[in-house]
A and B are shown apart, each in its own frame.
Chain A
Amino acid sequence: MVILFGFTLNGFEVLAWENMSILEVAGFYGIEIPTLCFMEGLSPYGGCRLCLVEVGPVGKSRLVTSCTYPAREGIEVRTHSQKVLQQRRMLLELYVAACPSSKWLQDLASKHHVTEVRFKPKGEECILCGRCVRMCREQMMGEAIGYVDRGTQRRITTPFDKKSEDCRLCGGCMYVCPVCQLRCQGPKEESTLCSSCLNLYPPCAEKFEEVMCYMDPCAACELEKG
Chain B
Amino acid sequence: MNALGLLRDVKELKRLKSELKKEKREKFVSVCGDTGCSVWDSKKVDEVFRRVLEEKGLSEEIPVKSTGCLGFCECGPVVIVFPEEIFYQKVNEEDVEEIVEETVVKGKVVERLLYHDPREDKKIVKASDIPFYKKQVRNLLGDNWLIDPGSIVDYFSREGYAAAAKAFTEMSPEEVINEIKEARLRGRGGAGFPTGVKWEECFTKNVENKYIICNADEGDPGAFMDRSILEGNPHSVLEGMMIGGYATGSNHGIVYIREEYPTALEKVKNAILKARETGMLGENILNSGFDFDITVSVGAGAFVCGETSALVNSIEGKVGEPRQKPPHLAEKGLYGKPTVVNNVETLANVPRIIRWGAEEFARAGSKNSGGTKIFSLVGKIRNTGLVEVPLGLPLREIIYEIGGGIKGGGHLKAVQTGGPSGGCLPGYMLDIPTDFEELDAAGSMMGSGGMIVMDYGTCMVEFSRYFLSFLSGESCGKCFSCREGIYRMLEIVEEVAAGTATLSHLDLLEELGEMVKNTTMCGLGKTSANPVLSTLKFFKGEYLAHIMENRCPAGVCRALVTVFINQELCSGCGVCRKKCPEEAITGEKKEPHYIEKALCSKCGICIESCPEEAITRA
Contact = CB atoms under 8 A, between A and B. Distances in A.
Touch A–B, Cβ below 8 Å: yes
A50 B472 CA distance: 21
A49 B319 contact: no
A5 interface: no
A151 B474 contact: yes
B302 A150 contact: yes
Contacts of B477: 128, 147, 149-154
B480 A49 contact: yes
A87 B518 contact: yes
Interface in A64-81: 65, 68-70
Contacts of B484: 94-95, 98
Contacts of B473: 150-153
A155 B26 CA distance: 61
A69 B374 CA distance: 37
B137 interface: no
B478 interface: yes
A65 B475 contact: no
A219 interface: no
B498 interface: no
Contacts, number: 89
Interface string A79-116: 00001000100110011011000000000000000000
Interface in B477-518: 477-481, 483-488, 491, 504, 508, 511-512, 515, 518
A119 interface: yes
B295 interface: no
Interface residues of A, number: 34
Interface residues of B, number: 32
A63 B515 CA distance: 10
B480 A152 contact: no
B326 interface: yes
Interface string A31-57: 000000000000010111110100000
Contacts of B471: 151
B476 interface: yes
A120 interface: yes
* Residue from A70, A95, A150 having most chain B Cβ neighbours under 10 A: A150
A118 interface: yes
Given A70-B326, A87-B519, A119-B488, A127 B480 contact: yes
A90 B478 contact: no
Interface in A111-162: 118-120, 127-129, 147, 149-154
A75 to B, nearest CB: 11
Given A91-B515, A128-B477, A152 B483 contact: yes
Contact of A49 (B304, B508, B519): B519
B480 A94 contact: yes
